[in-house]
Amino acid sequence: MLERMFTMWFKGFVYNQIWEDPRVDAEALGIGPESQLLTISSGGCNVLNYLVHRPKRIVAVDLNHNHMSLTRLKLAAVKHLPDYESFYKFFGLGQHPDNLHNYRTYIREHLDEQTRQFWESSDWPGNTVGPKRINYFKTGLYEKAKLGQFFRVVHGIAKAVRRDPARLLTAQSKSEQERIFDEYYASLFENRLVRWMGRQPVAVYSLGIPPSQHAAMLAESGGNGQKLFDTYKERIRRLACGFPLDDNYFTWQAFGRRYDHEGRKALPDYLREENYETIKEMADRVETHIASLGDFLSTAEPGSLNGFILLDSQDWMPPNVIEALWSEIARVGAADTRVIFRTAGELSPVEEALSPETKAQFHYHQERARELHTHDRSAIYGMFHIYEKTDGQPQ
């Protein structure tokens, strides 16, 4: 029942921002002019973030029409809006009176029919009555999606007990971030109701953690629900205090439900003004497909890709699906292929899922992955993982 509930929950618009740190991804994969990448698009942020490194090709796939429609809108917007400020109003501010006019004037005619229909229909039953989805960019993109709703509820609970999360953003140093967190928020994590809620599988649906992975994390905690909740607390503290505020846009989204509009320092790379012209120039190097990883790979040419970004998708996959996926990666991946992904827990599901023949074709860079995990600004995942293709033949 929990798995079915999660599947239904995840069919909608889940992420208004991707929660994998693109800086860590780029370092792990060595993204550059020879990179040919396959990634799950999610909200499309990292698809555009990777373009800063001028890769040769990016293939973005996603089964979720909501996420792909957002990705395609971002690509059309960066190519056709008249300037950086109009682009920032759309995806940095996420709400501005000019956005609907700019959509009609500059973007609409450049969208494919499926994407245009998505943005010009509604979330209401039947999709024909009610406000159009393009109004998200008038009322607030970062208020929408399951993740936005999750943050709104959490902020509401915190404010009800006079613990406004946005106070953290007034800190002037990492030490002040730590002081504010420990003095102002720590008591929230001792509340019996909060602790009980935090141990329930449904509480983390909006973070993309399915019941199966919640169970795996609970098992890693020795079956101790209190210990699992303490793991969540530790990750939230790292998100709040682990990095300077002007370098961590994930903290701004979690604690402020917005970006750093005043200083414009804590921003994803694709929203930085200095990267705008590069991303605009590189946008045509992205191709998008509404498809699963496996379905796309089954049609791809051998040796045609050398970087695979699987996000946390394997947390949802049974072992036989992981085996089938990696068999395709071994076939399609070039000799210098690297594969990266994240997990809610600490352990890599690949180690147990792959057959000896498939596993022999990849080397697990575990220590390097652990090192890079400490640099991941989103802080919500249990571990980062890197695999490199060997000689392409079972050993």
E-strand ranges in 277-332 read 286-289, 305-309
Going from N- to C-terminal start, the domains of the chain cover 156-256
- Would you state the pLDDT for residue 202? 65
Answer yes or no: are the C-beta atoms of 363 and 314 closer than 8 Å: no
What is the H or E stretch that residue 316 is in?
none
3-state helix, strand, coil split of the chain in percent (to 5) is 60, 10, 30
Distance CA 251, CA 186 (A): 17
Answer yes or no: are the C-beta atoms of 350 and 339 closer than 8 Å: no
* Backbone phi and psi for residue 129, each to the nearest 5 degrees, phi listed first: -110, 160
Strands lying side by side in the sheet with 57-61: 286-289, 57-61, 36-40, 305-309, 333-343, 383-389, 362-364
Answer yes or no: are the C-beta atoms of 71 and 288 closer than 8 Å: yes
Answer yes or no: are the C-beta atoms of 256 and 166 closer than 8 Å: yes
- Would you state the pLDDT for residue 21? 98
Instruction: Name the nearest CA neighbour of 230 among 190, 287, 274.
Output: 190
232-277 residue pLDDT tens:
889 999 999 999 999 999 999 999 999 999 999 999 999 999 999 9
- Would you state the pLDDT for residue 3? 62
Quick one: how far is CA 178 from the chain centroid?
25
Torsion of CA 143, 144, 150, 156, to 10 degrees: 30
pLDDT tens, the chain, 395 aa long: 666 666 666 667 888 999 999 999 999 999 999 999 999 999 999 999 999 999 999 999 999 999 999 999 999 999 999 999 999 999 999 999 999 999 999 999 999 999 999 999 998 777 777 899 999 999 999 988 888 888 888 899 889 888 999 999 999 999 999 999 999 988 888 877 777 776 666 666 556 666 666 676 677 776 666 777 788 889 999 999 999 999 999 999 999 999 999 999 999 999 999 999 999 999 999 999 999 999 999 999 999 999 999 999 998 899 999 999 999 999 999 999 999 999 988 999 999 999 999 999 999 999 999 999 999 999 989 999 999 999 755 44
Q: Give 339's strand partners.
A: 308, 387
What is the H or E stretch that residue 345 is in?
none
What does the chain come to in residues? 395
- Would you state the pLDDT for residue 269? 98
Residue 331 burial class via C-beta count within 10 angstroms: exposed 0-12, middle 13-18, buried 19 and up: middle
DSSP designation for 388: E
| Other CB atoms within 10 A of residue 224 CB | 13
Instruction: Name the nearest CA neighbour of 42 among 21, 64, 24, 57.
Output: 64
* Residue in this structure with the two tokens 């020795």, named with its chain if needed: 222
What is the H or E stretch that residue 154 is in?
helix 145-160
- Would you state the pLDDT for residue 146? 84
Q: Which two tokens stand for residue 137?
A: 């960019």
Quick one: how far is CA 14 from the chain centroid?
10
| Three-class SS state of 289 | strand
Distance CA 48, CA 159 (A): 34
Q: Within 13 Å, how many C-alpha atoms sit on residue 261's CB side?
A: 14
